[in-house]
Structure 1
Amino acid sequence: MESTVVDPDMEELFNLFLEQESEPWDSREPDTDPTVCIAGNPEDCPRILSEKQPFHFQIRDTSHKSFYLQDNILVATNLQGDNAAVEEKVTVVPNRHLERKRCPLILGVQGGSKGLSCGNDGQPQLQLEDVQLLNLFHQEKEAKCFTFYKTYNGSTHSFEAAAYPGWFLCTSTQVNKPISLTMQLGQSAITDFYFQRK
């Protein structure tokens, strides 16, 4: 499934992270340790990441259900009025190790402090892990299970797990059910989403 429409938000995101790379490690200040920046907090390497911040998006399925956290599980429901304040925005950074034209995005919530992982045990299972998305940007192997190929058809978007081809991010047709993964497109699960930058 290939994107048929140019997504200007994604062009901007990939240009920011990939075409304005900081200078090579060997030309940086002597006290700038790349391993600290990769394994530690983004704050440990402000020269490198200060201008590169994740993008944040409001995501809703085609039934207009929003994402929110319930006991550290990401679920989808219709949020209105005061409840709208608990809606989770999806945070994204590009995966620079995968094919750019497929729009590989590392997805998270909570401002990028929790990643949406498909797991790596052979059977895909969506779960939240405490990671920093900006750190995953530097990690090829670790980032793949948090990466989804985004396809845009001009009105809705779909998200295919990079580590599990054919598995897509989905919501249930019922409310208050966990966000999960499915191979059954267009059947009992919703795999098309409205995805608007915030």
Structure 2
Amino acid sequence: MVQLFKEFLDEFLEGSNRPVPRQKTPYHYQIRDTSHKAFYLRDTSLVAANLQVDNAIQEEKVSVVPNRMLERKKCPLILGIKGGTQGLSCGTAEQPRLQLEDVHLLNLFHTDKEAKRFTFFKTYDGSTHRFEAAAYPGWFLCTSPQDNEPISLTAQPGQATITDFYFQRK
């Protein structure tokens, strides 16, 4: 994560006193819940399942860019799939609802208002990570204990859902 934030947010290269433009591309990660379920698209929903060798190609990598408007030490990540062309949005209603929206993560990186509903604060605890919705504090990305259920959000981490994930750069 340090490299991601450095690449996107630090304007100066080491030893330079002038801003240096950099070509930015989202980083891509494999995400698995603690039951080792991977994310994949079923119709227009993002779901989690234990993908076997034959259908492992369906796995969606999670694309990330930092949210430059939020506090860097909280590790604010704009999350998406499909190489960064669809974002994971919490919506704008009173209660959050995870949904996919056609939006480029790099465009969200450059906008101020729209990016927050696509942003999650990543925390790390030993070998697992949690993702808290920036627009809805106390709500976390989660999977169901059952296979082939949609990825969603919960305000009760660790109870009936899985909120801890393995997160590895690919």
User: TM above 0.5, one fold?
Assistant: yes
Partners of 1:48 and 1:79 lie apart in 2 by 40
Which of the pair is proportionally richer in helix? 1
The 5 A counterparts of 1:164-179 are 164-179=136-151
| Aligned mate of 2:5, from 11, 14, 20 | 14
- Report runs of 4+ in structure 1 exceeding 4 Å deviation: none
Partners of 1:175 and 1:72 lie apart in 2 by 17
1:104 counterpart letter in structure 2:
P
Partners of 2:11 and 2:21 lie apart in 1 by 11
Residues 101-153 of structure 1 show CA distances to partners (whole Å, capped at 9, x for unaligned) of 00000000000000000001221000000000000001111000000000011
- State the superposition RMSD in angstroms: 1.4
Partners of 1:68 and 1:185 lie apart in 2 by 22
1:190 counterpart letter in structure 2:
I
Residue number in structure 2 paired with 1:189? 161
Residue number in structure 2 paired with 1:65? 37
Residues 42-97 of structure 1 show CA distances to partners (whole Å, capped at 9, x for unaligned) of xxxxx956x21110000000000000000110000000112000000000000000
Aligned residues: 164
Secondary structure of the corresponding residue to residue 172 of structure 1: coil
Partners of 1:21 and 1:96 lie apart in 2 by 15
Residue number in structure 2 paired with 1:138? 110
Secondary structure of the corresponding residue to residue 93 of structure 1: strand
Q: Name structure 2 gaps, 5 residues minimum.
A: 14-19
The 5 A counterparts of 1:27-106 are 51-106=23-78
Partners of 2:93 and 2:111 lie apart in 1 by 19
Partners of 1:69 and 1:21 lie apart in 2 by 38
